[in-house]
């Protein structure tokens, strides 16, 4: 297991699993005839996310070596060579695209390619030129549920899918800005634009809270798009939204608690996991007497 750890870190397995789960959520929310496509969609997204992460660390190995938070990653620490990282990332990306071709056809393959180009191309470039790169970068978070949706036979142009993707987009931004509040100075030291140079930390914290609140409210709007039909699932969203907003309230006020506790970061992730789980079970709850 110790020998595998650098490779698991390179692929950021937990984040890749999260992306796979969001693809599974999109799959369950539309009509699906072939359940085997679920494993194809989730597996392909996991491979693509792992490969994109490995390639991103290959791209940013010099920057990672300048930041305390990332200098122990496999490439700057020397645990993995750049050639090994590049070879692994390419193998994962090709495997993911081939699996997408089987599970979802041309549309899924195009979505997978779009995610890679946006994350490893546009977003990685924007991080070097603007402190607000995370906003357009959040578009990447919309693509995994769309991949799951089309692999289940859903149409890409669909209001239900739009509502789901919008929720994932809103969640991505505060997810990153909470990291900025804790590590903004490190980004500056590495020569990257940081929000902490554009705004004060208290202001960033309050704006982050607004994004978190918007994500919570977006979940309550899903029935308006027709994404959620089970009353049980929908009414479960309200206490979860209240729980998230209440737990993140320390970001508000004139003098918020800074830097924010890592617990806040975990709770926004827990919130989306619970929301995804409920959405995936929506049709199952509809069948209950």
Residue-by-residue DSSP string for the chain: -TTTHHHHHHHTHHHHHHHHHHHHHHHHTS--S-THHHHHHHHHHHHHHHHHHHHHHHHTHHHHTTSTTTTTSHHHHTSS-HHHHHHHHHHHHHHHHHHHHHHHHHHHHHHHHHHHIIIIIIIHHHTTT-TTTHHHHGGGGGHHHHHHHHHTT--SS-HHHHHHHHHHHHHHHHHHHHHHHHHHHHHHHTT---HHHHS-HHHHHHHHHHHHHHHHHHHHTHHHHTS---HHHHHHHHHHHHHHHHHTGGG-SSS--SSPPHHHHHHHHHHHHHHHHHHHTHHHHHT--
- For 29-39, how does the pLDDT look when each residue is reduced to its tens digit (9 = 90+)? 887 667 788 99
Architecture of domain 1-157 in this structure: Orthogonal Bundle (1.10)
Q: What is the pLDDT of residue 1?
A: 56
Tens place of pLDDT per residue across the chain (289 aa): 567 889 999 999 999 999 999 999 999 988 766 778 899 999 999 999 999 999 999 999 999 888 888 889 999 999 999 999 999 999 999 999 999 999 999 999 999 999 999 999 999 999 999 989 999 999 999 999 999 999 998 999 999 999 999 999 999 999 888 888 887 788 888 888 888 888 888 888 899 999 999 999 999 998 888 888 888 888 899 999 999 999 888 888 766 777 777 888 889 999 999 999 999 888 776 655 5
Closest CA to 121 of 148, 108, 98, 140: 140
- Each residue's pLDDT tens digit, 189-227: 888 888 888 888 888 889 999 999 999 999 999 888 888
- What is the average pLDDT score of the chain? 89
| Model pTM score | 0.93
Residues 6+ apart with CB under 8 A from 202: 254, 255, 256, 258
Dihedral over alpha carbons 77, 82, 87, 90 (to 10 degrees): 90
Every domain of the chain and the residues it spans: 1-157, 158-289
pLDDT digits (tens, 9 = 90+) for 129-160: 998 999 999 999 999 999 999 999 899 999 99
């Amino acid at each position: 297991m110790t020998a595998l750890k650098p490779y698991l870190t390179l692929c950021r397995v937990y984040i890749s699993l999260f992306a796979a789960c969001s693809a599974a959520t999109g799959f369950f929310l539309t009509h699906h005839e072939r359940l085997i496509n679920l494993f194809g969609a989730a597996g392909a997204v996991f491979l693509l996310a792992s490969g994109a992460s490995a390639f991103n660390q290959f791209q940013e190995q010099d920057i990672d070596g300048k930041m305390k938070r990332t200098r122990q990653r496999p490439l700057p620490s020397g645990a993995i060579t750049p050639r090994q990282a590049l070879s692994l990332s390419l193998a994962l990306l090709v495997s993911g695209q081939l699996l997408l071709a089987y599970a979802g056809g041309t549309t899924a393959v195009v979505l997978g390619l779009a995610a890679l180009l946006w994350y490893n191309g546009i977003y990685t470039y924007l991080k070097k030129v603007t402190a607000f790169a995370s906003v357009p970068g959040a578009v990447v978070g919309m693509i995994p549920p769309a991949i799951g949706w089309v692999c289940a036979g859903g149409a890409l142009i669909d209001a239900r899918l739009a509502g789901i993707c919008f929720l994932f987009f809103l969640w991505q931004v505060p997810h990153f800005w909470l990291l900025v509040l804790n590590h903004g100075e490190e980004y500056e030291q590495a020569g990257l634009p940081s929000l902490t140079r554009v705004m004060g930390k208290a202001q960033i914290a309050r704006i982050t809270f607004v994004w978190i609140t918007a994500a919570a409210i977006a979940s309550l709007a899903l029935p308006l798009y027709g994404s959620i039909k089970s009353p049980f699932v929908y009414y479960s969203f309200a206490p979860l939204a209240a729980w998230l907003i209440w737990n993140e309230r320390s970001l508000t006020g004139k003098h918020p608690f800074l830097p924010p506790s890592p617990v806040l970061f975990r709770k926004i992730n827990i919130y989306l996991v619970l929301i995804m789980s409920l959405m995936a079970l929506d049709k199952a709850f509809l069948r209950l007497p």
